[in-house]
Amino acid sequence: MHRRNALKKTILLAGAISIAPELLAKALADPGPVLQNFPAVQLELLAEMVDTILPTTDSPGAKAAGVQEFIVLAVEACFSANQRDSFWSALNAADQDCQKTLGKAFGKCTEAERIQFLHKLEDAPAPAGEPQFFQVLKELTLHGYFTSEIGATKALNYDPIPGVWIPDMPIDGNTKAWTPMF
């Protein structure tokens, strides 16, 4: 390595160290306060919605994987203030729409009524300039589930030490996708 390259890398590292503590502290912050201050009613509504999107079958569902908590943390940490407000407003509006349409809260609905209502949310047009609420909810649900330990090990085939490539591996209807996570 040349001295000039070493000096550039050292300066870059020193700059990163001066900026990184704040970012690292935010990334490693305890999620407890965010979840403790979050309304339990909304958390339960999210839990029921994500469990309707990915229910328990031969593997645990999204609710068992704690996807509702992932969504709260992702929205609070990663969305802009306008996006956060829009997402939580849309969640509340969906709950109110369910009560108006079906006469009961989403959590009190039967599985068939929940699926019917989520189809209605999916078909609803997006507000101008904003993503559609159900699409964002579904993407967060899938991301949260398949990056959770339950999703990666129970719903997918988990291979902690990938082996050789088998080009003619037989695959049938019961074959699960593979994940290199965890």
Give the contacts of 173 (CB within 8 A, at least 6 positions apart): none
3-state DSSP call for residue 157?
strand
Cα 2 from chain centroid?
45
Cβ atoms within 10 A of the Cβ of 128, count?
A: 5
What's residue 24's pLDDT? Answer: 45
| Residue 36 contacts residue 58 (beta carbons within 8 Å) | no
Two tokens at 52? Answer: 């309707």
Amino acid identity for residue 18 in this structure: S
Sequence-ordered alpha helix ranges (H) in 54-156: 67-78, 81-102, 111-123, 133-146, 149-150
Sign of CA dihedral 27, 30, 33, 36: positive
State residue 167's pLDDT score.
79
Block mean pLDDT (10 aa), the chain, length 182: 59 53 52 78 95 93 94 90 93 94 93 95 87 94 91 78 74 71 44
CA distance 26 to 84: 18
Q: What confidence score (pLDDT) does residue 30 get?
A: 60
Residue 179, beta-bridge partner list: 158
- Number of alpha carbons in the 13 Å side-chain half-sphere of residue 59: 17
